[in-house]
Each structure stands twice: as C-alpha cells, then as structure tokens.
Amino acid sequence: MLSQGVKIATASSWKTRAQEVQAENVTVAEGGQAEINCKLHQYDGSIVVIQNPSRQTLFFNGTRALKDERFQLVEFTQKQVRIVLSNARLEDEGGYFCQLYTEDTHHQIAILTVLVPPDNPLVEIKEQAVEGGEVELTCSVPRSRPAATLRWYRDRDRKELKGIGSKQENGKVFSITNVVRFRVERRDHGSVVTCEATHPTLRGQRKETQYVLDVQFAPTARIHPSQGVMREGDTLVLTCDVKGNPRPTDIKWSRANDSLPERALTEGEVLTIPSLSMLDNGTYLCQVANKHGRSSDQYVLVVYDPGAIVEAQTSVPYAIVGGILALLVFLVICVLIVMVWCSIRQKGSYLTHEASGLDEHGEAREAFLNGGDGHKRKEEFFI
C-alpha cells in the first residue's frame, strides 16, 4: 500500500458523503498477489461495481462479471469490498475503479503498479583469458522494473570492481548490462568474480552469479626423483610435475646425448628405470608444451656402488664439522680484532698523558743537572 487514492467526485450533502468510497494504491511484484480494497462509508445497499483498467466489470454487487479466475472476491461487507489478484502480470497494471451508484455516482481509483524482479544475472566472457592479457566480462539482466542495479565483486574479500553500465528500455521493462575489464595473470586462474543484482522487490536481498576465471598460461615442468642417492640394483622413479593451462598431455622423456635404457618405462608424467647400473648414468629430460609455450627440466643420474654410497653419506657430517670450525675461526678473528683495537686505544691515551707532563719533567731534569739557585754546592773531600 503506497498512498491514498485521489477522490474523483464528492457529494454536496451529508447523505451522499456518508456513501463515499475510498481506495488505496497497490504495488505488487510480477507473479505475486495483490489486494484491491474499496472501503465503504455507511453503505446502504446501493450498487457497487469493480472495474479493471480497461473498464471491464470484474464484480457487480458481489457477482463475478468477468471470467478471469485470477480475480477472487474475498470480502463484501457494508464497510469494505476486497478482491485478490493472483499471479499479477504487467498487463494487469493500471487504475481499478471502485464505483458506488446512488443518486450521485461516486468512484475512486486504486492504482495497481506491477514491478518486475530481476532473474539471476547472466555472465559472459568476450574471449578466452590469457596470462598477461585483459579479460572482459559482461553481466546482464534482460528484464526488470524499475531497472536493477548491477555490481562486480572479486574473490572472497568482495573487492568491488568498477564496471561500465548501460540501460535499455523495452516497453515497460528495462534491460541492464554492466561490462568490466581487468588484467589477469596465472595466479588469477580459478579465482571467482561475482556479478550482483539488487532491486526493490528483493527487499534487501540480492541475486548473484559467480564466474570462475579460466586463465590460460604456458606450462612449467619440475622433475622429482624417488630418492636422493641411487645405487646399483635400485629402481629409479622420476615424476615430472607439470603445470599449465591447457594442461600439456604430450610429455616427452629423453636422455641427453643418448637414448633411454631399453628397460625404461614411460607412462605420462612418470619415468621408471628398474635395476639401475652405472651404464644408466646421464642427464634425463622431461619436456612439455601447450599452445602458449614450452618448458623442460633435467635430472642428472649418478649410480653408485654400495661402498661409494657409504662414503657419500659419511661426507655429510664432515661438511657440518668443517662449517662449525670455520665459524669458530671467524669468531676468534673477531675477538682478536677487538682486543687489538682496545690495546691501541689505551696506548694512545697513555701517550697523551705523557706528553702533557713533558714541561714538568723537563724542568726537573734541568734542576737536577744544573742544581738549584737556593742550594749550595756540596763538596766532598777524601782524606
């Protein structure tokens, strides 16, 4: 209910004023249910007629006149006539007449407004997203009334993206679109972009459509061995960890400057060489490609006999001990540098004090050599 209807005719006497009718404007969402109320004041049994915007009579004194089952008379009393419209349509919109026929005809109009809520937005991409390029997404709502509001959001933190919106009126409804453009990298692959539609009929809720970004990028390859040190008789399993979009399906294994051992088994990303021998030593390559580029990785295989393996394993503690010794030597050198610096500083301070006493010491020396004026020379005789 929005506001009171406008009274078209009034009475000049108390009797006619007592038989006036009142109606209220109504707003309903398309497909919803609307109530049209005609309030009567001191109704005396006169004829009451309800008409649709086309001036077709719906009800005549409580009797159905138009065969449209969507309109139902739910109340007819001396105070009120109430009808209910189910499954409201745009063509139902307009003024509904509540008419009271007495010596003077009184009527009021209840304005029915039909709103069109938006469906879930449609999200389309202009062309395939590629690493380093821009992606353009279009969000659209074909029908809404009034025009829906569209917004873009990125990922879970719902960072808003600024798009460019446009609106087109098609009769009583509006078609809305919003276009957003942004640069993408491979890290954006799988991230979610959301288009959100808000509208008065949703009552604070929103309709949204999520789009998962499909960003294509060149492949990468990384070889992972089954173990660190290989010895004769072991089984080597190399796994080529491949990433790329589209994902490379053709994975090639090879050995530099030689062919793969005859007993080597290749199954997609995995290369297996059982019963290793020193003849299997070499550099093994994994090569992958898609339409955006190529990538490769290599693994150098060194097969040891059991004795060599023990020495290789025992070399690790020696390396650790060597590192510790180097650290200790460095600390000793630092301590020596600090001690020398402190010694030099103390010596400089001593020399400074010694220089300040030169005058006094010089006078004492001169007095000692020449003797003082107030003293008599002392002579000694030997008998």
More confident residue, 130 or 317: 130
Q: What is the pLDDT of residue 12?
A: 34
In eight-state DSSP terms, residue 66 is S
- What span, in angstroms and rounded, lies between the C-alpha atoms of 225 and 213? 33
pLDDT class of 247 with cuts at 50, 70, 90: very high
Laid out side by side, the sheet with 192-198 consists of 159-161, 149-154, 192-198, 207-212
Q: What is the pLDDT of residue 205?
A: 92
Own/partner pairs for 273-282, CB < 8 Å, 24+ apart?
273/235, 273/236, 274/235, 275/233, 275/235, 276/230, 276/231, 276/232, 276/233, 276/234, 276/235, 276/236, 276/301, 276/303, 277/232, 277/303, 278/232, 278/303, 278/305, 280/236, 282/255, 282/256, 282/257, 282/258
Cβ atoms 248, 284 nearer than 8 A: no
Q: Identify the CA nearest to 48 among candidates 94, 96, 95, 113.
A: 96
Q: What is the pLDDT of residue 349?
A: 53
Q: What is the dihedral of CA 44, 50, 56, 59, to 10 degrees?
A: -80
More confident residue, 35 or 343: 35
Least confident range of 269-273, 313-317, 346-350: 313-317
**pLDDT surpasses 70 at 10:** no
The average pLDDT across 303-320 equals: 57
Q: What is the pLDDT of residue 376?
A: 41
pLDDT class of 298 with cuts at 50, 70, 90: very high
**pLDDT surpasses 70 at 64:** yes
pLDDT class of 343 with cuts at 50, 70, 90: confident
**pLDDT surpasses 90 at 245:** yes
Q: What is the pLDDT of residue 305?
A: 87
In eight-state DSSP terms, residue 79 is S
Q: Identify the CA nearest to 192 among candidates 217, 162, 156, 216.
A: 156
Give the whole-number percent of the chain exceeding pLDDT 70: 80
In eight-state DSSP terms, residue 259 is P
Average pLDDT of the chain is: 83
Residue with tokens 């276009």: 179
Least confident range of 167-171, 203-207, 217-221, 378-382: 378-382
**pLDDT surpasses 60 at 148:** yes
More confident residue, 366 or 368: 366
Q: Which helix (H) or strand (E) holds 312?
A: helix 306-356
Q: What is the pLDDT of residue 233?
A: 93
One-letter amino acid at 171 equals: G
pLDDT class of 320 with cuts at 50, 70, 90: low
SS3 321: helix
Q: Identify the CA nearest to 88 among candidates 63, 68, 109.
A: 68
Q: What is the pLDDT of residue 347?
A: 60
Q: How many CB atoms lie within 10 A of CB 353?
A: 8
Q: What is the pLDDT of residue 37?
A: 93
The average pLDDT across 246-273 equals: 94
**pLDDT surpasses 80 at 291:** yes
